[in-house]
Amino acid sequence: DVKVTQSSRYLVKRTGEKVFLECVQDMDHENMFWYRQDPGLGLRLIYFSYDVKMKEKGDIPEGYSVSREKKERFSLILESASTNQTSMYLCASSLGLAGTKTQYFGPGTRLLVL
Amino acid sequence: GDSVTQMEGPVTLSEEAFLTINCTYTATGYPSLFWYVQYPGEGLQLLLKATKADDKGSNKGFEATYRKETTSFHLEKGSVQVSDSAVYFCALGVDSGAGSYQLTFGKGTKLSVIP
């Protein structure tokens, strides 16, 4: 079975802290994605990666960075957390270099920044 | 740019009622269309998809038909159950060259089914 795991289900951090969110997939997928989900706004793409060490900005990259050192792992980094980054963060992966491919999602990390 | 508009919720239905969640889209190229479902406390999972005009996707009693003439992909189920309570997302993906690997999502429709 396809599996995408995220390092934490819930996180509480303080303003200004550096935050790492980890995502691992076991399907040998080329593409990996980070979204944030907010009520009334749906899913918004933060960053995606189509290969190791490759990354592309999504719709809302400001305040975030990413790292992909291994094919199976994609990390989202909040360099200096702020309260407006309180959200649900979803990681996803897909096989093949096409926008028509199914994305497989992790369970999400609910982040609260105080 | 590409966009997806789906009916806003929340939608509340009694068990065994008929469900329709409307979804329309605008896209360049020839999109594939998806419905994802998010159960409480979980990530999204694919419910069904259709890759070309007139295709019908179906799964777990849900179905949706890709209508190019009306740019729509409405989700339907004949008889909902309490276990169908979730948030439903319509999405599209387009093959338009390097870097176009993302999906465009609607804002989601929350469905609550009461016994």
pLDDT beyond 60 at B97: no
Helices (H) and strands (E) in chain A, counts: 0, 11
Neighbours of A86 (CB within 10 A): 16
* Minimum-distance CB partner of A45 among B43, B96, B102: B102
**Beta strand spans in chain B (E):** 3-6, 11-14, 19-21, 23-26, 32-38, 44-50, 56-59, 62-65, 75-77, 86-93, 103-105, 109-114
User: What per-residue confidence (pLDDT) applies to B100?
Assistant: 55
Structure confidence by residue, pLDDT tens digits, A70-108:
999 999 999 999 999 999 999 999 887 566 678 899 999
Q: Is the pLDDT of residue B101 over 60?
A: yes
For B8, which residue in chain A has the nearest alpha carbon? A40
Tokens 């209508």 sit at which residue? B67
Q: A105 in contact with B at a CB cutoff of 8 Å?
A: yes
- The pLDDT value given to residue B57: 96
Condensed to tens digits (0 to 9), the pLDDT of residues B73-87 reads 999 999 999 999 999
Answer whether A90 touches B (CB < 8 Å).
yes
The answer to whether residue B96 scores a pLDDT higher than 90 is no
CA dist A65 and A47 (Å) reads 8
Please return the burial class of B45, using the count of CB atoms within 10 Å of its CB with bins 0-12, 13-18 and 19+: middle
- pLDDT tens by residue, B19-46: 999 999 998 878 899 999 999 888 999 9
Q: Which residues of B touch A58 (CB under 8 A)?
A: 102
Contact B50, B57 (CB under 8 A): yes
- pLDDT digit string, tens, across residues A7-63: 999 999 999 999 999 999 999 998 899 999 998 888 999 999 988 988 989 889 999
